[in-house]
Structure 1
Amino acid sequence: MLLAAGCGSGADTARTVNSVQPAGGSKVLGSGYDSGYGSNGNGADSAAGAGSSYGSGSGTGTGSDSAAGKTGPAGQLALRDIPEVGKVVTDSAGATLYRFDKDTAKPPKSACEGDCATAWPPVSASDASAAEGIDPGLLGEVVRSDGSKQLTLAGWPVYRYAKDGQAGDAKGEGVGGTWHALAADGKKAIDQNSKSGDELSVATNEKLGKILVDGQGRTLYRFNKDSAWPMKFGCLGACLDTWKPAAPVDKTKASGIPGKLVGSVKRPDGTEQLTIDCWPVYLFTGDTEPGQTNGHNKQGLWFAVNDAGKKVPAGG
């Protein structure tokens, strides 16, 4: 039985659909996989920008967003709760501090030089101290290629982000899938926040704005060849090798989105899939790290979903 009152009317009623027909009925897939579903390579509209893992094309810190004023000592480090990111380490002025996945902690080494260091100014190791909640023994330093000493936390070189304009900003979280706000133990704050129990939440992406992610911080997508009402599936067969149906969630463990938009649907193979505003949603196998959005605008058919349950426009 299809529950028409829940999907299509906007009413806050039951939103589970027991059975749905594939879009196109007996339509043969095959070549459509390449033209409609997309491969698991990096999408053209990835959050990192083409050919860059530090934000080229989406925030190199030039002009008004320059690194000026962002290269001073950290002062006393503190912890701050930032919605959708978690409890992050900040400097004495409240600026969020970050780590880079291409760096190493053992031994400490920075891979961010040149334009990268303009967008992500290294934090000086001088005059750094730890407030309550941060182990002073985790603070250290690494000598950069220019001879300057950069602060490290648990071995990880520490950075600010040039486009964070005020205390509490965390615009650098998830950029390129390689930059993340630091937790007190030097790990990624977003990973620890994802363990808080939320199975569905809202993350802020620098390019796309507020988008829905699963409990592991992975971006959720909808497919233009699906249909919300009457609900139909356009992703079948080979498509499912690249786009994995997201599992249903407990509404009580969803944050940042109205519960009435969260539902589930039974697929033709009998499995249950998460729906947002009656649209089936998927995970993209080309996203290999939390925060990546490589599937957005893939083939002009796949789109991230915002906190209102709508698809994010192609350009964000």
Structure 2
Amino acid sequence: MVSRFLVTGGLLAASIVLAACGAGSGGGYGAVTSATPTSSPYATTPTPAATTPTPAPTPQAAGTTIKAASSRLGEILVDANGRTVYLFVADSGTASTCNSAGCVQNWPPVLTKGAPQAGAGASASLLGTTRRADGTTEVTYAGHPLYYFIADRQPGQVTGQGIDAFGGPWYVVSPSGMQVR
């Protein structure tokens, strides 16, 4: 009977110690936090980790718009947001040759999910599309695949003008479809 009393007393003391350790600390693994649990410790659903989306060139909404805008180089082509578009002299016809990861990172293609639209000052008859090596659809103008330059941060910037990279020079496009020099 004495040993039964010691075991019961020992369990009671251990329970009190565990309860005291958990009080005010928010509990912990195995801590006693209340006499009547409100939920099973096995029924918890893990909270998914927050993720940050990785920017990548993605097609704009169906029918990407290309229009004319004034710049320090004169009238040039831009997208609906005023972002300058370029042509790559090394492209062969409507086929894009800017397909390497480095090229696409610096010169993202102007993509579309539908027929491109001519905005003010652009000619609908000069707009077209070409299928890229990765299966996406790139906008063309006067037969030239169109690109953005990664360093252009504001509408109408032309910081990529005349850069020679990835096998040839890059130029802003005029509303007539010619490279601006």
**Common fold: TM-score over 0.5:** yes
Once the two structures are superposed, the pairs formed by residues 54-69 of structure 1 within 5 Å of their partners are none
The aligned runs of 1:118-137 (5 Å cut-off) are none
- In structure 2, the partner of 1:310 is 178
| 1:253 to partner: Cα distance | 4.7
Give the alignment partner of residue 202 of structure 1, picking from 44, 68, 73: 68
Find the aligned partners of 1:227 and 1:286 in 2 and give their Cα distance: 25
Partners of 1:297 and 1:209 lie apart in 2 by 15
Secondary structure at 1:201 match in 2: strand
The SS at the match of 2:105 is helix
Does the 8 A contact of 1:212 with 1:305 survive in 2? yes
Q: Distance in 1 between matches of 2:143 and 2:157?
A: 24
Out of 96, 99, 111, the position equivalent to 1:233 is 96
The counterpart of 1:301, out of the listed 169, 173, 176, is: 169
Gaps of 5+ in 2: 1-62
Q: How far off its partner does 1:198 sit?
A: 8.3
Aligned pairs for 1:1-80 (under 5 A) are none
Corresponding residue of 1:246 = 110
Q: Which amino acid aligns with 1:244?
A: P
Distance across 2 between alignment mates of 1:234 and 1:310: 19
Distance change (3 Å), C-alpha of 1:252 and 1:292: closer
CA contact (8 A) 2:76 2:172 kept: yes
Residue identity (%): 35
Structure (1 or 2) with the larger CA radius of gyration: 2
Equivalenced residue count is 114
Distance 1:198 1:226, change over 3 A: closer
RMSD across aligned positions (CA): 2.0
What is the identity, as a one-letter code, of the residue corresponding to 1:288?
A: R
Equivalent positions of 1:32-181 (< 5 A) are none
Greater strand percent: which structure?
A: 1
Shift of residue 251, structure 1, vs aligned partner = 4.6
Displacement of 1:236: 1.4
Q: Does 1:270 align with 2:135?
A: yes
Distance across 2 between alignment mates of 1:282 and 1:198: 13
Closer, same or farther: CA 240–258 of 1 in aligned 2, 3 Å: same
Per-residue CA distance 1:214-251 (angstroms, 9 max, x = gap)? 011010000011022xx332211121010000023645
Greater fraction of residues in helix = 2
The 3-state SS of whatever aligns with 2:176 is coil
Distance 1:266 1:295, change over 3 A: same
TM-score (norm 2): 0.58
Instruction: For 1:264 and 1:292, locate their aligned partners in 2 and report how far apart those are by CA, in whole Å.
Output: 24
| 1:234/1:209 CA distance change after superposition, 3 Å | same
